[in-house]
Amino acid sequence: MNDQPELRRDPVTGSWVAVAPERAKRPIALSGHQPRQRANGERHPCPFCPGQEHATPHEVFAFRDPSSPTDGPGWQLRVVPNMYPAVRPESLTTIAIRDSELLESVPAYGTAEVLIECPEHIHDPKELTDSQFTNVFVAYRERLRMFAGDTRLAHVAVFKNVGAEAGASLGHTHSQIIALPVVPDLLRAELDGAKEHFSRTGRCIYCDLVSEELKDGSRVIATSANFVVIAAFAPRFAYEVWILPRQHQPRYEALSDANANELARLMKRLLFTLDAVLGEPAYNWHLHTTPLHAGEPEHYHWHLELLPRTARPAGIEWGFGCHITTAMPEVAARELRAALPM
């Protein structure tokens, strides 16, 4: 059946996608696979390099030598406000700008931050040391905990863009943290799907998914003591990968340092195999966790999703939300497993 196109339903959101291996054969004169572009003519040192701290807004968080001055060198990881924010902390009210029956808008209250992952001017997160990579996952947690007290905020979007095709505008490896006064769409869709599953079964849908995927095995790429890496059953991009905690954990804020280290080492192995199999694609990863003031739900479970830019979305994706991919997730998982470093 593996050469027949299939329509698959995302187990959580219910979105339909088409998996059509035959389309991989179509002419690629104008379309196709997007390799990770290197920065051309990028200045070095860049604004994210040590010694250039004056080129960014004042830092709001850092791992740095105790003796080093704020906004000076001597840091291992640094979080600064985005120079070009989509949302702004000085928008102190959320009083509607427009509020007709149909058209509603509010000032973009929130915070947009850049998390500079290491002092070295490297583009590729798989070149981070294990300790640096662990710092990234610990810093995600610390920023989430910091925002937990702001009742004007609803959700914190943590994500990373690697390569120009994935939306990165600077090469020096960094993540982004955007705190918003609303719960964004895709998270809301997951929460709705998870709630529906819980009301039907009394169980967390992600716990059920982990259990079913481990039993089936065909989409499992890697495992560690506390995490599972699977090829998404209904991917939006070929080779889409999900990383989930094995145990129920609604909030990323609860991640222990030891588990951050385990997650970092697993993620690095995943990046090595993705780059080997796909030839260094551009990609995004993003963290989905329970919204800030939503307690500790029994039905929702944090996870990371990694989307390699393996195709250029077209009218069917943008116009209808129906993604068409060319690699069966079971085939993708087999290839990634085979190339996985020890």
Give SS3 for 141: helix
Window 41 to 70, contacts with its own copies (CB under 8 A):
41-42
304 to 110, 165, 314: CA distances (angstroms): 22, 20, 25
Window 197 to 256, contacts with its own copies (CB under 8 A):
201, 205, 208-209, 212, 233-234, 236
Least distance to its own copies from the beta carbon of 311, Å? 8
Window 266 to 295, contacts with its own copies (CB under 8 A):
284-286, 288
Q: Contact with its own copies (CB under 8 A): which of 73, 74, 88, 122?
A: 88
| Interacting residues of 41 by C-beta distance below 8 A, sequence separation 6+ | none
Q: Contact with its own copies (CB under 8 A): which of 100, 149, 151, 202?
A: 100
Contact between 77 and 116 (Cβ < 8 Å): yes
Is 15 near its own copies (CB under 8 A)? yes
Q: Which is nearer to its own copies, 64 or 306 (CB)?
A: 306
Is 107 near its own copies (CB under 8 A)? yes
Is 171 near its own copies (CB under 8 A)? yes
Q: Which is nearer to its own copies, 100 or 199 (CB)?
A: 100
Report the amino acid identity of residue 223. T
Q: Which is nearer to its own copies, 65 or 212 (CB)?
A: 212
Handedness of CA 259, 299, 214, 304 (dihedral sign): negative
Is 28 near its own copies (CB under 8 A)? yes
**Between 294 and 323, how does the x/- string for binding to its own copies read (CB under 8 A)?**
-----------x-x---xxxxxxxxxxxx-
Residues designated as active site:
174
Q: Could you please report the per-residue DSSP string of 163-212?
A: SGGGT-S--S-EEEEEEESS--HHHHHHHHHHHHHHHHHSS-HHHHHHHH
Of 334, 337, 333, 317, nearest in space to 325 by CA? 317
